[in-house]
Structure 1
Amino acid sequence: MRLNSVLRNESKLSVRTHRFSLMLLIYILVLSVGTLLFYNGYSSDVYASGINPQSAVTLYIAMAVIQAILLMFIVPSLTATSICSEREKQTLDILLSTRLSPLQIVLGKLSASSLKVIILIICTIPLYSICGLIGGIRLSNILILTGSFIINTIFVGAIGIFVSTYLKTSKAATALCYALVLFIFAGTIVIAYIVFLVNMTKLGYTSGKTPAISPIAYLSPATGFFMMLYNQVGFGGNSMYFIGQLGLAKYTEYISVAIQIVLSCGFIALAARRLNPLNKRKKKVKIKAKKSVKE
């Protein structure tokens, strides 16, 4: 199987830069320091009260949430400038004149950017293994969480590539990408919650009935992420009753993954269509034809 030339060249150049090495160091350092501080406090408690597997669950949830937030800030900065940088360097036309199709260029850029983040994700697996050593977390939980992060990375990367093909400057593309990611992750949940409150008001608070959450909530990867953590380790307290009242499906995480895959394919297809210079020529021909007919 022949490797995509864009992926091969981008990968060789990116891993040799000091910026990538520094990003890898800072990323691992932040998570490692937090894990070591927690483990230090946990070790002192072991001598006093014995092993508590619930502490491993707390560490697992905290690390997963922190890593998800870090990835949401890292991925758009890497992918939103992938096509814009080529346009600013005036090398996009040269790239389009090669034998590579627009779809291959988009997939190569997306794969090269996502590969950097996937390296970061894989490097954090040993940190999660500490939770397995304490107890309460299985290896399958860590692998499923890693796969979820990889799918989220590809999804956010597809958004960045899509935005990068439509805007000309890197700053504008990065800002718009962050805005779209924030809307999809948090804005859809806010909209779903507002719809939930409106339906709750219509039913009446004294009726005893609770409406199901709006399907809009499934568009947010955050919904599937938290349901995945809930199904793996739970959150304790009255979380089971609260989630049951919202009417979320049992397999919400799988629904979220399916939606992300479909949307990623759609963003990639639109980006490749936008990047295709033949489509621009067809539009110009149609505009000229309409003008000539009017005249």
Structure 2
Amino acid sequence: MLINPILASSARRRMRSWKTPLILLLFGAALLGIAFVTALMPLMGESMTISSARNGLDSYIVLVCAEFALIVLVAPAMTAGSIAGERERQTLEMLLVTNTGSFRIALGKLLESLGYLAFLIVAMLPFNCSILAYGSVGLPYLFQSALFLLLTAYAASSVGLFCSALFRKTVSATIAAYIIVLAIGLMTFLGVTLSGASTYYDFDLAALSREELIALLPKSLFFCPPLGLLALLANQSGALQSVLQQLVGYGNSQALALAGYDLLANAVMAFMACAATVLTLLSTAFVRPRLHARRRRK
């Protein structure tokens, strides 16, 4: 059978749960409220103005940021109990004595949660498409932002999976997963604010090549998903320059603008994909050894 048995069993159990439609309903209600206030209400006026057309761009930015926050909030909890929950139910040992290896167990648990998150991201697309009525953002940009959100879900889910394989209890794994996700955001952001090209002026930066601008930027900038999302939206919309300037400093923001916002967005997406893959492989190493350690203690 080609399909992962853990994936098939877990996906069937999740889709039959009452929590699945409830989460989808809550996601949809939250995004519908945001889309209605920021994008649809201006269309109900008697005429369209330049300021009302700007609302479409603002609505797109708010929607994508809200979706990013929801995914970061939900994804770690979805996988934090995947392996630890099997330990608590004392079913992990039965899985390990079958032909299903630790890699397939961890991969199946990850793909099941990631598949559901991908389903939520696809369900969010109609809300994002509401801004197409303004013509402020093209359809390719919507799929690009969806790819960023999918990689975010992959990275956050892999953190939860790693903590689930590392800790025995679901509560401990969930707390550790959220601490790690929060630490990644705070540490990379502080690394940007405490270093960089803040003392450079426009004429200094304009004389530099793109390679020199990249070398000038703080390295932690390329590992910060929130700033990568803002750079992606800035590249798509031509807005948010002032927001980035306040967050990373004037010199860093100008160097980033000259080097290209797409550079930072692509680097952050590559980092999330690589880090998630490494964490997934590490998770497989912590599934079976803990069983052997418990037997030795007995």
Band of TM-score, shorter chain: 0.7 to 0.9
* C-alpha spacing 1:120/1:248, structure 2 compared with 1 (3 Å): farther
Q: How does 1:141-220 map to 2 (within 5 A)?
A: 141-196=141-196, 212-220=216-224
2:232 to 225, 228, 231: 228
> Paired residue for 2:269?
257
Does structure 1 conserve the Cα–Cα contact (< 8 Å) formed by 2:38 and 2:58?
Answer: no
Change in Cα spacing, 1:116 to 1:264, as seen in structure 2 (3 Å) is: same
SS at match of 1:168: coil
1:273 corresponds to:
285
2:254 counterpart residue number: 244
After TM superposition, give the deviation of residue 191 of structure 1 in Å: 2.4
Q: What does residue 109 of structure 2 align with?
A: 109
Q: Distance in 1 between matches of 2:292 and 2:271?
A: 30
Percent identical: 21
8 Å contact kept, 2:234–2:240: no
Work out the CA distance in 2 between the residues paired with 1:224 and 1:75.
Answer: 18
What is the CA deviation profile of residues 103-145 of structure 1, one whole-angstrom value per residue up to 9, with x for unaligned ones?
1111100000111111111001111111112211111011111
The secondary structure found in structure 2 opposite 1:195 is: coil
Instruction: Give the 3-state SS of the residue equivalent to 1:137 in structure 2.
Output: coil
Displacement of 1:237: 6.1
What is the match of residue 42 of structure 1? 42
Let me know the Cα RMSD of the aligned residues: 2.8
Aligned to 2:210: none
Q: Which runs of 5+ in 1 are unaligned?
A: 285-295
Aligned to 1:56: 56
State the distance in 1 between where 2:78 and 2:240 align.
Answer: 37
Question: For residues 109 and 217 of structure 1, what CA distance do their matches in structure 2 show?
Answer: 31
Residue 174 of structure 2 aligns with an amino acid whose one-letter code is T
Larger Rg: 1
Q: Which amino acid aligns with 2:89?
A: K
SS at match of 2:194: helix
Tell me which residue corresponds to 2:22: 22
Asked whether the 8 Å contact 2:76–2:177 carries over to 1, the reply is: yes
Question: Within 2, Cα distance between the matches of 1:70 and 1:92?
Answer: 30
Query: 1:277 Cα deviation (Å)?
Result: 3.5
Cα distance in 2 between the residues matched to 1:234 and 1:256? 19
Other-structure match for 1:12: 12
The change in CA–CA distance for 1:256 and 1:170 in structure 2 (over 3 A counts) is same
Q: Tell me the alpha carbon deviations over residues 67-123 of structure 1, each in whole angstroms, 9 at most, x when there is no partner.
A: 111111000110111111000000010111111121111110000011111111100
Residues 76 and 174 in structure 1, CA contact (< 8 A), matched pair in contact too = yes
User: CA separation of 1:217/1:237 partners in 2, compared to 1, >3 Å: closer, same or farther?
Assistant: closer
One-letter amino acid of the structure 1 residue matched with residue 228 of structure 2: G
TM-score of the superposed pair, with normalisation by structure 2: 0.84
Whole-Å separation in 2 of the counterparts to 1:102 and 1:248? 46
Amino acid at match of 1:223: L
Unaligned runs of 5+ in 2: 206-212
Q: Cα 1:120–1:233, aligned 2, differ >3 Å: closer, same or farther?
A: same
- Give the number of equivalent residue pairs: 278
